[in-house]
A and B are shown apart, each in its own frame.
Chain A
C-alpha cells in the first residue's frame, strides 16, 4: 500500500514540481511580499507598510467602491438576463437553436481588444451607433466617456454583453436536466407556466444560479480589461478605476510590488468572503 503510494507520487512528481514553482510559490511569495517595503533597496520587512497604506488610501477606496458598485448592479442584472436567455433557448418553440446557442456564446470567444474597440466605437460621442439611436428617438446624445455615471454604465453593459451568454449556456444545461414530466405533473395540477417557472424551475436551478453568481463575483472582482481599454485606464479621472486596474498601476507602472500584493490579497479575500456569504444565504434548508 505504502509502496503503491510512493510510486503514485513519483509519477505525480513532475506535475507537483511545476505546480509548486509556478502556482504555489507565487501565492506564498506574493503574500510575503505584501509585508515588505519594496520601494527601497534592498526590500525590508515592514508588516504595516503596505497594509497600513491600504487602509488609508483614497485611491484604494475609490477602486473598491467602483468594483463593488459594478458587482452589485452588474452581476444580478446579468444573471437575471442569463436565466431569461436560457429559458428562451430551452423553449420548444425556438427555431435554429444551435445558431442562437452559438451567438450567445460567441462574445466569450471574441478577443478582448477587438471587443473593447467595438464598444468604444459604439458609444462614441459623435458617430457611435448608440448616440445615433438615442438621437433618432428624440433623446439627447450622451457623452459616455467624459462622465462617471455613463462611463460606469458602459462598463456594466460591456461586461454583461460579454458574459451573459456564457452564463446562459451553463444555466441551459441545468434547465435541460430538469425532467419534463415534472412540468407535466404541474400542468395536470393546474399550475400556470409562470408559476411553474417560479415554483419549479427557479428552485431546481438554484444551485447552478449560485454557481454562476460565484463565478461572476470572482470575475468582476478582478475586472480589468473593460476599464483599462474601454474607459481608458479607469477614466474619467479614476471614475471607473477598479481594484484590478489599481493593482496593475501599482505593480506594473510604479513597480510597487509590496502594495500590489496587498491589493491582490484584498481582492481575493473579498471575492472569497462575498462568495461564502452568497453560498450561506442560498444554502439548502435542512
Chain B
C-alpha cells in the first residue's frame, strides 16, 4: 500500500524538455489514469515512476519515500507493458515465477504466489504454454499476472489494452477494474483512450505536450473542464466548438453572438468577471447537449451532411459555414443527408472559453 507523489517532475532528453514540471498526488489505493494524445509524455512519466527513465528534475516519492535514486526493483512497483514484454522462451508458469526464482524466493512461497495470480486471472490451464501459443488477451493476463506475483504496492500499466480488439478491450477493462477492487492497491494507468480513462479512473490526469491540463474525477472533467483542451479530450464524440463574439454584458450575464449561425445570440450567466464586449470567444457544446428547436435558449439551423445511425443514438454531422458540428439524437433514425434541421443550445449546457482556450466561468 503506498501513495505516489510527483513534485515538479521534469524530464529532458538532451535539450528537449518532454515533461515540464508535473505535480501529481496519487493516494494510497487510488486508481489514477494518465490520459492525453500520442507523444504527450504519459509513458515517460510512468517510466520515471518505475525507474526505467532518469528523473531530470523534481522528486518522486512512493509510500512517503523519495525514490529518485532507488533501483526500479526496490520501488515496490510492478509494471505491465503495452507489448506485454513476456519472456518468449519461458512457459507461462516460468514467466510468472522468473523474478522470484532469480531472487531466491522460497519455492513454496513462489508456488503459492503463482497459483494465486493464476486463479485471480483465470489462466491456470495455460501454465505450460509459451507466450506465442497464447491469444492477445491471454498474453495480457499473463503480463498482469507477472505483476501480481511481485505483490507490489503500486501497479503501473502502460496502455495495456491497446493491442486488443474492441470486444476484448471492454472485457479486460472490466477485469482490471475488478482486480483493483480485489487487490485494493494503488494503480496508475496510462492510455490515450478517453473511454478507458472515464470508465476505470478514480481520478484522471489529463496531459498535453508535457503539461498537466487538469486533474480530477472523470465526471468532474466532463462537467467542468478547466480549459478547451480538456473539454475537447474528454467525452466522445468530441465537444463542438462554435466561434462567438461578446456583444454585451448585463449584470452577471454575458451575451454572445454565434458568428457562423446568422447572428444567433445566447445569454449566459457567469460567476466570474465577464469578458470585454467585442472579445472573440468560443462556445463549447457537447453533441448530446443539442436540444429540439425551442427547448433551449438559442436556436440554430443546420444542414445534415452525414447521418450515422448506431441504433440507440444517431450522430448527425452538420455543416454551418466553416464549422462542422456533431449532433447526437436519440430518435432521429429517419434523418438523412441534406436534411435541414433546427437545434437548440441551453446556456446551462454550454461552456465558454476565451481565445487562448481558458475557461470563462
- Our verdict on whether A and B bind, yes or no, reads yes
Nearest chain A CB to B357 CB, angstrom units: 36
- Is A199 at the interface (CB under 8 A from chain B)? yes
Known A181-B83, A187-B72, A189-B102; further 18 A-B contacts with Cβ < 8 A: A181-B85, A182-B85, A186-B98, A186-B99, A187-B52, A187-B73, A188-B77, A188-B99, A189-B99, A189-B146, A190-B71, A190-B73, A190-B74, A190-B99, A190-B103, A199-B102, A200-B89, A203-B89
Interface pairs (17), CB distance under 8 Å: A179-B83, A181-B85, A182-B85, A182-B88, A185-B79, A185-B146, A187-B72, A188-B78, A188-B79, A189-B98, A189-B99, A189-B146, A190-B103, A191-B102, A191-B103, A195-B102, A204-B89
Interface of A with B (CB < 8 Å)?
179, 181-182, 184-191, 195, 199-200, 203-204
Nearest chain A CB to B69 CB, angstrom units: 15
A199 touching B98, Cβ below 8 Å: yes
B81 touching A185, Cβ below 8 Å: yes
Residue of A nearest to B47 (CB): A184
Assembled-state Cα–Cα distance A188/B98 (Å): 11
- Is B150 at the interface (CB under 8 A from chain A)? yes
Produce 1/0 per residue, B183-195, CB < 8 A to A: 0000000000000
- Is B50 at the interface (CB under 8 A from chain A)? yes
Q: Tell me which residues across on chain B come within 8 A of A184, comparing CB atoms.
A: 52, 79, 81, 85
**Chain B interface bracket (under 10, 10 to 19, 20 to 34, 35 or more):** 20 to 34
- Please report whether the interface of chain A is mostly helix, strand, loop or mixed according to DSSP: helix
Nearest 8 pairs between A and B by C-beta? A189-B99, A190-B73, A181-B85, A185-B85, A203-B89, A191-B102, A181-B81, A188-B72
Assembled-state Cα–Cα distance A189/B74 (Å): 9
Residue of B nearest to A182 (CB): B85
Assembled-state Cα–Cα distance A184/B77 (Å): 13
B:146-191 near A, CB below 8 Å? 146, 150
| A-B interface contact total, Cβ < 8 Å | 59
Produce 1/0 per residue, B64-98, CB < 8 A to A: 00000001111001110101011111000000001
Interface of B with A (CB < 8 Å)?
50, 52, 71-74, 77-79, 81, 83, 85-89, 98-99, 102-103, 146, 150
A182 touching B77, Cβ below 8 Å: no
Known A184-B52, A199-B98; judge A189-B85 contact (CB<8 A).
Answer: no
Q: Tell me which residues across on chain B come within 8 A of A195, comparing CB atoms.
A: 102
Q: Tell me which residues across on chain A come within 8 A of B146, comparing CB atoms.
A: 185, 189
Nearest chain A CB to B128 CB, angstrom units: 11
Nearest chain B CB to A208 CB, angstrom units: 13
Residue of B nearest to A184 (CB): B52
B50 touching A200, Cβ below 8 Å: no
